[in-house]
Amino acid sequence: MPRATASSRRASASQLAPPVARGPSAAPLLPQPLIERLLAVAMERGGDFAEVYVERTLTTAVMLEESRIKSAQTGLIQGVGVRVISGPKVGYAYSDDWDEPALLRAASTAAMIAQGGGSERSFPVHRAAVPSHYRVATPLMDVDVALKTGLLSRADKAARAFDARVKQVNASYVDQTRRIAVANTEGRYTEDTQDLCRMAVQVVAQGKNGEQRTGMFGGGGRVSFTHWDTFPPESVAREAARQAVATLGAVDCAAGPQTVVLAPGWSGILLHEAVGHGLEADFIRKGTSLFAGKLGQKVASDLVTVIDDGTVSSGRGSINIDDEGNPGERKVLIENGVLKNYLYDGLNAKLMGQRTTGSGRRESFKHLPLPRMTNTFLAPGDHAPEDILKEVKRGLYCATFGGGQVDITNGNFVFEVSEAYQIEDGKLGRPVKNAMLIGVGPEALKNVSRVGTDPMPDPGMGVCMKDGQMLPVGVGLPTLRIDNVTVGGTKVA
Amino acid sequence: MDYQQLAKKIVQRAKKKGAQQAEAFLEVGRQGSVRVHQGQIEDLTQSTSKGVGVRVLVKGRLGFAYTSDFENAALDHIIDQALKLAGAAAPNKLNGLPSGKDLGRFGDTGQLFDTKVAELPGDWKIKAALEVEKAARAEDSRVVAFNAVGAGDFVSEVYMASTEGMTGAYSGTYVFLYAMPVASDGAGLQTGYWVDYKRFLDDLDTPESIGREATRRAVRMLGARRVKTQQVPVVLDPLVASSFVSDLAAAANGNAVYQGASVLAPLKGKKLAGPHVTLVDDGLLPRGLATAPFDGEGVPTRRTPILDKGVLSGFLYDAFTARKAKARTTGNASRGYNALPSIGATNLYLEAGTKSPEELLREVDSGFYVTALLGQGTDPVTGELSAGANGLWIEKGELTHPVQEVTVAGNLLQMLQDLDGLGSDLQFRGGSVGAPTVRFRQLTVSGE
């Protein structure tokens, strides 16, 4: 059921990301003559454009609870989606049967969106080369599952050894090998193999009088399994445990406007929510985003430059091609506070007389592509991070974050802070619990008063949700100061 | 294809290949959805889908694999995979499929399938969605756009079989309408959301009423502003109250309780709220969206009170967690074919009170009527709630100006104690979680 909000959060240890992935063989997913036949059938009622999307996704997931590997699972999801565009109208049909009659049925179902008569044209396609932004030597699906369960056992031990107050550890590892092929009536045919892995550890610590706090950390990306040699599960677990223990004894958060300093990295969710979603072309075209009609206008402080980059090496949100077969791109969305560009998929770009920015993404063959983000980050500024903190007399330092959500129409966004500290005279004070930031996108960005020299990507655990479609994304932020932010809390001064 | 037979065959094959216990969970469906934009179709999607998940146990080790490919070779392959993965899991003597004593007879679900929905004419969705859009536009001239307007229907079938003697199947229908108009007053934009989602066509709100209500919710938010930071009574409309209800159920998840990772864990049998507060999970609710004869592992569903007249009376369990916690499964294993069963609510609702929503508002001198929330809601471990909120300010019992860019914060346990009013307007709005209008004596509103 679609909602008018979009959100992003860290995938939790107890939640498995949706299937995504690939097969090892170099054989095409579907024979090219069949793809061409499907395109011809899809166009038989005179559509303007047709596309065949083929996906084969293998997922492996292991979970640990109470120091035991609770389960190991693997699965295959495969299917073909046929999309036909006729003017502004879209017909879509998909099938998880690969036999030819079922696929031809899907193509004729999608064709019905066009009202024209029969045409007997053929649509030859030619395979286009695609760039490579992933660092995957061996497909993740080929790695022995025992190595994957081993990561979790190591994480569990490290988290429990970190502090006696660690009471509960849940950990999960998920990887996907996703092969896609996209062919369309413009003759473009591309394939991509998208490996992705993520590990997450969730820790509950117990303090005095039964007080409980949680910590959560994880990471991954489009990387080989060797990633875990340099990003070992012990360090992931220790960070989750550190967060849980550090927030024990936290005091109630003061409600009302404050100066906030955001730690670098995962805090990039703020951008993702405050501006990212509002720049997606479907909202812009329909005039439902508060950023519609603001190209060339000042929408943020001079210090703010926002980039969405699908080409970051091995990034969780990186894509060699988007789910319409177009190369992933680096886009400057906001430059020194001025709105420069929107995120376009093929359809909205065409309807708006623009070109696609390689932002057409979909969760699976069961979904239509939508304009979406990839890796969204803020360019670094020139303030030393330690000075940013030192200059704040009273405020809130936000160290780690949960998720966020935005209403793109009125621009209201929230941003959950899972670890926060009072700032007193430029120094960190007591930990604060249950803090949340709320703001309106452009106003919050106009209040950005310091941008650090320390850009940092998140460790690779972001999940973005829009219209019920879940996608892997990346975010990033240097240390940031924002003035006069409404902080949600329980304590009234 | 006889899917019930196929489920049985998969189980037999798994047994032959070395599984001590095996279970097949099979889903088949067809779905259609349409979105409209400015009086014409925006997109129309139609599809069929299917899949099967196989759970096996070998020497107390659990393996699971799923596929959407029903070719013999593919089915053999996932059985082999599941067996292989069982080898990678830890042995646990508590592992196992639900056995005879948990399986038993299925309760009476009543009708789940509506022939009218299953046989809807191809253009019904398009016409209905266009009517929604037209009504939404006609309701107020300040509607300038739509995020989305749509309609959809689907038919789903579930088949199960296990070595423990479980066999069963059911099928159901679903139909829905929704609208998200955008209103402008020249200075700002606001959106409204309204939806209806039912099993039976005759239960579905009319397209006109969906469109009109969505618009009403959008335009009344125009000119919304922050209010001062303060502690005041807070009233949640039923749509928003249903997320509070979901948060309560998440804290009543038997696994979180067993792990001590729930604020409710130590409180079973304690009085947490007034006698007017009853929270129920009912897998057999007549015409309920989540009503089914059995849960995701074949256990009969039932009615489980979580809060009974204010007393914390029960938690939700699946078979494995129940064994761990020395409890009985409550038939709350929830899943799709591509996931292992995990604990989830069925039809979950807070029982209605006796006062009209207007009356609940009238009794508030100064407070906040919340009509939309942003954020994840409550942390079940700590019970802390902090969420962005939009709505209308209450002065002397009347709704006054719209409010945005504020948060509401509190704690689940305190909120239960402070729950001092329940409306007579219980509704399941857009899902299987139901709530009436709910009033709390006091929450912190954070704004200016």
Asked whether the beta carbons of residue B376 and residue A79 sit closer than 8 angstroms, the reply is: no
- Residues of B with Cβ-Cβ distance to A486 under 8 angstroms: 226, 405-407, 446-448
* Per-residue confidence band for A16, with pLDDT thresholds at 50, 70 and 90: very low
Contact partners, residue B8, CB within 8 Å, separation at least 6: B24, B161, B167
Helices (H) and strands (E) in chain B, counts: 11, 21
Q: Which residue type sits at A146?
A: A
- pLDDT of residue A483 exceeding 50, the answer is yes
pLDDT digits (tens, 9 = 90+) for A41-77: 999 999 999 999 999 999 999 999 999 998 899 999 9
* Per-residue confidence band for A5, with pLDDT thresholds at 50, 70 and 90: low
> Cα–Cα distance between A61 and A75 in angstroms, integer?
9
B119 in A contact zone (CB under 8 Å)? no
For chain B, domains (ranges, CATH) are: 3-219 (3.30.2290.10), 224-448 (no CATH)
> Cα–Cα distance between B317 and A403 in angstroms, integer?
28
Nearest to A414 by CA among B401, B408, B182, B245: B408
Closest Cα in chain A to B378: A434
Comparing CB atoms, the residue among A70, A212, A286 nearest residue B145 is A286
Q: How many CB atoms lie within 10 A of CB B328?
A: 14
Asked whether the beta carbons of residue B65 and residue A97 sit closer than 8 angstroms, the reply is: no
Q: Which residue type sits at B83?
A: L
- pLDDT of residue A11 exceeding 70, the answer is no
Nearest to A43 by CA among A106, A110, A126: A110
A72 in B contact zone (CB under 8 Å)? yes
Comparing CB atoms, the residue among B85, B89, B409 nearest residue A488 is B409
Interface residue of B56, B386, B414 to substitute, partner A, most A CBs within 10 Å? B386
- pLDDT of residue A18 exceeding 80, the answer is no
Distance from the B260 Cα atom to the nearest Cα atom in chain A, whole angstroms: 8
CA distance readout (Å), A82 to A41, A344, B74 = 10, 20, 24
pLDDT digits (tens, 9 = 90+) for B340-360: 999 999 999 999 999 999 999
Q: Which two tokens stand for residue B340?
A: 């292992």
pLDDT digits (tens, 9 = 90+) for B218-264: 999 999 999 999 999 999 999 999 999 999 999 999 999 999 999 99
- State the pTM of this model: 0.94
Asked whether the beta carbons of residue B230 and residue A76 sit closer than 8 angstroms, the reply is: no
- pLDDT of residue A143 exceeding 80, the answer is yes
Q: What is the pLDDT of residue A26?
A: 58
- pLDDT of residue A22 exceeding 70, the answer is no
Asked whether the beta carbons of residue B69 and residue A76 sit closer than 8 angstroms, the reply is: yes
> Cα–Cα distance between B405 and A407 in angstroms, integer?
11
How many Cα atoms sit within 13 Å of B152 on the Cβ side?
Answer: 23
- Residues of B with Cβ-Cβ distance to A408 under 8 angstroms: 147
> Cα–Cα distance between B315 and A93 in angstroms, integer?
41
B169 in A contact zone (CB under 8 Å)? no
Angle (CA) B284-B440-B352 rounded to 5° is 30
Asked whether the beta carbons of residue A88 and residue B42 sit closer than 8 angstroms, the reply is: yes
pLDDT digits (tens, 9 = 90+) for B144-153: 999 999 999 9
pLDDT digits (tens, 9 = 90+) for A342-390: 999 999 999 999 999 999 999 999 999 999 999 999 999 999 999 999 9
* Per-residue confidence band for A27, with pLDDT thresholds at 50, 70 and 90: confident
The stretch B15-36 carries a mean pLDDT of: 97
Which helix (H) or strand (E) covers residue A52, if one does? strand A49-65
Asked whether the beta carbons of residue A77 and residue B338 sit closer than 8 angstroms, the reply is: yes
Distance from the B354 Cα atom to the nearest Cα atom in chain A, whole angstroms: 30
Q: Kindly report each contact of residues A382-386 with a partner whose C-beta sits within 8 Å and lies 24 or more positions away, as own/partner.
A: A382/A451, A382/A453, A383/A450, A383/A451, A383/A452, A383/A453, A383/A479, A383/A481, A384/A452, A384/A453, A385/A264, A385/A452, A385/A453, A385/A454, A385/A478, A385/A479
Report yes or no: A197 and A225 within 8 Å, Cβ to Cβ. yes
Q: Which residues of A425-463 are buried (b: 16+ CB within 10 A; e: fewer)?
A: eeeeeebbbbbbbbbbbbebbbbbbbbbebbbbbbbbbb
The stretch A416-434 carries a mean pLDDT of: 96
B100 in A contact zone (CB under 8 Å)? no
For chain B, report the end-to-end CA distance as a whole number of angstroms: 63
Residues belonging to chain B: 448
CA distance readout (Å), A478 to A378, A384, A406, B132 = 7, 10, 21, 45
- Residues of A with Cβ-Cβ distance to B189 under 8 angstroms: 288-290, 409-410
Q: What is the pLDDT of residue A20?
A: 30
Helix, strand, or coil (residue B263): coil
- Residues of B with Cβ-Cβ distance to A5 under 8 angstroms: 374
Q: State the pairing for strand pair A89-95/B40-58.
A: parallel
Report yes or no: A357 and A341 within 8 Å, Cβ to Cβ. yes
Beta bridge mates, B409: B386, B444
Q: What is the pLDDT of residue B163?
A: 97
- pLDDT of residue A93 exceeding 80, the answer is yes
* φ/ψ (deg, to 5) at A24: -80, -25
Asked whether the beta carbons of residue A436 and residue B51 sit closer than 8 angstroms, the reply is: no
The stretch A244-258 carries a mean pLDDT of: 95
B138 in A contact zone (CB under 8 Å)? no
CA distance readout (Å), B172 to A346, B29, B121, B289, B434 = 37, 10, 18, 9, 20
pLDDT digits (tens, 9 = 90+) for A446-458: 999 999 999 999 9
Nearest to A20 by CA among A68, A78, A71: A78
Comparing CB atoms, the residue among A68, A92, A366 nearest residue B90 is A68
- pLDDT of residue A10 exceeding 80, the answer is no
Q: Which residues of A243-277 are buried (b: 16+ CB within 10 A; e: fewer)?
A: bbbbbbebebbbbbbbbbbbbbbbbbbbbbbbbbb
Asked whether the beta carbons of residue B78 and residue A76 sit closer than 8 angstroms, the reply is: yes
For chain A, domains (ranges, CATH) are: 2-127 (no CATH), 140-179+191-248 (3.30.2290.10), 252-492 (no CATH)
| Least confident interval from A409-413, B97-101, B393-397 | B97-101
- Residues of A with Cβ-Cβ distance to B182 under 8 angstroms: 286-288, 409
Closest Cα in chain B to A202: B261
Contact partners, residue B17, CB within 8 Å, separation at least 6: B79, B80, B83
CB pairs below 8 Å between A and B: how many? 282
- Residues of A with Cβ-Cβ distance to B50 under 8 angstroms: 96
Q: Which residue type sits at B273?
A: A
Asked whether the beta carbons of residue A89 and residue B379 sit closer than 8 angstroms, the reply is: no
Phi-psi region of B350 (alpha: psi -120 to 50; beta: other; left: phi over 0): beta
Q: What is the pLDDT of residue B122?
A: 83
Asked whether the beta carbons of residue A89 and residue B444 sit closer than 8 angstroms, the reply is: no
Which helix (H) or strand (E) covers residue B159, if one does? strand B143-162
The stretch B190-196 carries a mean pLDDT of: 96
- pLDDT of residue B123 exceeding 70, the answer is yes
Which helix (H) or strand (E) covers residue B257, if one does? helix B254-258
B340 in A contact zone (CB under 8 Å)? yes
Q: What is the mean pLDDT of chain B?
A: 96
Distance from the B194 Cα atom to the nearest Cα atom in chain A, whole angstroms: 9
Nearest-10 Cα torsion for A345, A350, A354, A360:
10
* Per-residue confidence band for A7, with pLDDT thresholds at 50, 70 and 90: low
* φ/ψ (deg, to 5) at A364: -165, 180
Which helix (H) or strand (E) covers residue A245, if one does? helix A233-246
* Per-residue confidence band for B337, with pLDDT thresholds at 50, 70 and 90: very high
Q: What is the pLDDT of residue A2?
A: 45
Q: Which residues of A80-97 are buried (b: 16+ CB within 10 A; e: fewer)?
A: bbbbbbbebbbbbbbbbb
Report yes or no: A236 and A458 within 8 Å, Cβ to Cβ. no
Q: Which residue type sits at B164?
A: E
Report yes or no: B370 and B364 within 8 Å, Cβ to Cβ. no
- pLDDT of residue A161 exceeding 70, the answer is yes
Nearest to B233 by CA among B362, B356, B379, B380: B362
Q: What is the pLDDT of residue A9?
A: 56
Comparing CB atoms, the residue among B43, B47, B446 nearest residue A366 is B47
